[in-house]
């Protein structure tokens, strides 16, 4: 399938983006006519610009990536440290452009609270983040790269590889696409976490997917099916997060024995669960708050059961922070 993604979908993205720019006046006129019929200030025009910007960034990135493949000896040296650094710089630069413009057009404010991941410079970190709503993973990666000068290693669902730019970039830097339905995922995670250096950040979402009420209930039912009634009861008490799946997180700890742990909560995107939610809420005019906690390695328990208990305890703390910091329209 990788051949289809790179030989068919990637060129199609570039050609379609070029076509959109050629026909841009028609798109602008249509969006301007629609805007008075939709709620919000110039909703159609603002969303059109963000979509065009994203497509343009992706198309330009694909063209540059092709050039790098060619200049690296048709891919022979593309995974060398030199070219790996170039790919990280490319991603950081494009994300800076996209987020700068998206924040301006969508009136999205991103604020951070708590000690940042550069509080202990020169120390590798494992970043465990709650997962809710579209865009939180992109925001986290942008924060780690642009604000804290970290090189992230990420584990993503294999379905995201259908995005051609994500597919190509993450196959050239330390990253893994995994099928959540099977395979030795924990082994892949431990392998990827091995060898973190002082400016690396291993990123993992212990919940395993975006928060939805249905996923939350399935997680509780799964714990009961496994005979973990105490954990199921604790998961029921957490109303803003899914019960964490500790296997991948513990594997990352094993793979990076010298890394501190950074836990991240955020609020502001919680209620955008479906495509309808996204359409209703965008343009945002919203405030996204990210809360960071950094835990030194010596404070993390050594045993597996103790680590599971420790992770559950932190997820309860994250749930409480989210409850206390919900946007006003959700807190009522």
Q: What is the structure's pLDDT at 50?
A: 87
3-state SS, residue 153: strand
Q: What is the structure's pLDDT at 331?
A: 47
Rounded Cα distance, 154 and 174, in Å: 8
> For residues 112 and 101, is the Cβ–Cβ distance under 8 A?
no
Spatial CA neighbour of 95 closest among 57, 39, 56, 63? 57
For the record, the structure tokens of 246 come out as 């500790």
**Interval 199-227 mean pLDDT:** 90
> For residues 144 and 324, is the Cβ–Cβ distance under 8 A?
no
Confidence of residue 330 (pLDDT cuts 50, 70, 90): very low
If you ran DSSP here, which 8-state letter would residue 158 be given? G
* H-only helix segments in 246-303: 246-255, 275-281
> For residues 194 and 228, is the Cβ–Cβ distance under 8 A?
no
**Interval 98-123 mean pLDDT:** 76
Q: Report the chain's C-alpha Rg in angstroms.
A: 21
Confidence of residue 270 (pLDDT cuts 50, 70, 90): low
> For residues 157 and 173, is the Cβ–Cβ distance under 8 A?
no
**Bridge partners of residue 84, in order along the sequence:** none
pLDDT tens profile 156-189? 888 888 999 999 999 999 998 888 776 688 999 9
Per-residue pLDDT at 332 exceeds 50: no
Rounded Cα distance, 76 and 147, in Å: 32
Axis-axis angle for helices 185-193, 246-255 (nearest 10): 30
Q: What is the structure's pLDDT at 204?
A: 92
Rounded Cα distance, 49 and 53, in Å: 6
Confidence of residue 146 (pLDDT cuts 50, 70, 90): confident
Confidence of residue 208 (pLDDT cuts 50, 70, 90): confident
For the record, the structure tokens of 72 come out as 């690296």
* H-only helix segments in the chain: 2-4, 10-22, 24-34, 43-71, 81-106, 136-142, 164-170, 185-193, 213-225, 229-237, 246-255, 275-281, 304-324, 328-331
Q: What is the structure's pLDDT at 120?
A: 61
Domain ranges across the chain:
1-106, 109-332
pLDDT tens profile 49-104? 988 999 999 999 999 999 999 999 999 999 999 999 999 999 999 999 988 887 88
Per-residue burial over 265-301, b if 16 or more Cβ lie within 10 Å, else e, is bbbbbbbbbeeeebeebbbbebebbbbbbbbebeebe
Phi-psi region of 208 (alpha: psi -120 to 50; beta: other; left: phi over 0): left
**Interval 266-281 mean pLDDT:** 65
């Amino acid at each position: 399938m990788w051949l289809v993604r790179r030989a068919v979908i990637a060129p199609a993205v570039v050609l379609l983006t070029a076509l959109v720019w050629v026909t841009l006046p028609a798109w602008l006129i249509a969006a301007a006519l629609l805007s008075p019929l939709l709620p919000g200030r110039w909703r159609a025009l603002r969303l059109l610009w963000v979509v065009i910007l994203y497509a343009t960034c992706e198309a330009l990135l694909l063209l540059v990536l092709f050039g790098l493949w060619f200049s690296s000896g048709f891919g022979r040296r593309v995974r060398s440290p030199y070219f790996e650094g170039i790919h990280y710089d490319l991603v950081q630069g494009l994300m800076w452009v996209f987020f700068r413009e998206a924040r301006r057009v969508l009136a999205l404010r991103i604020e951070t609270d708590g000690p940042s991941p550069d509080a202990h410079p020169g120390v590798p970190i494992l970043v465990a983040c709650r997962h809710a709503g579209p865009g939180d993973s992109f925001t986290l990666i942008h924060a780690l790269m642009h604000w804290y000068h970290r090189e992230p290693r990420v584990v993503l669902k294999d379905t995201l590889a259908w995005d051609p730019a994500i597919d190509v970039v993450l196959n050239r830097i330390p990253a893994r696409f995994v099928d959540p339905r099977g395979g030795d995922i924990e082994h892949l995670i431990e392998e990827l976490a091995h060898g973190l250096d002082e400016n690396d950040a291993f990123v993992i979402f212990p919940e395993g997917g975006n928060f939805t009420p249905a996923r939350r209930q399935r997680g509780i039912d799964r714990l009961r099916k496994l005979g973990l009634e105490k954990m199921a009861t604790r998961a029921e008490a957490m109303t803003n997060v899914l019960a964490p799946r500790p296997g991948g997180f513990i594997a990352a700890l094993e793979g990076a024995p010298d890394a501190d742990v950074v836990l991240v909560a955020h609020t502001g995107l919680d209620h955008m669960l479906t495509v309808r939610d996204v359409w209703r809420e965008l343009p945002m005019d919203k405030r996204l708050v990210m809360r960071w906690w950094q835990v030194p390695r010596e404070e993390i328990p050594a045993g597996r059961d103790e680590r599971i208990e420790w992770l559950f305890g932190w997820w309860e703390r994250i749930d409480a922070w989210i409850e206390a910091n919900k946007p006003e329209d959700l807190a009522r």
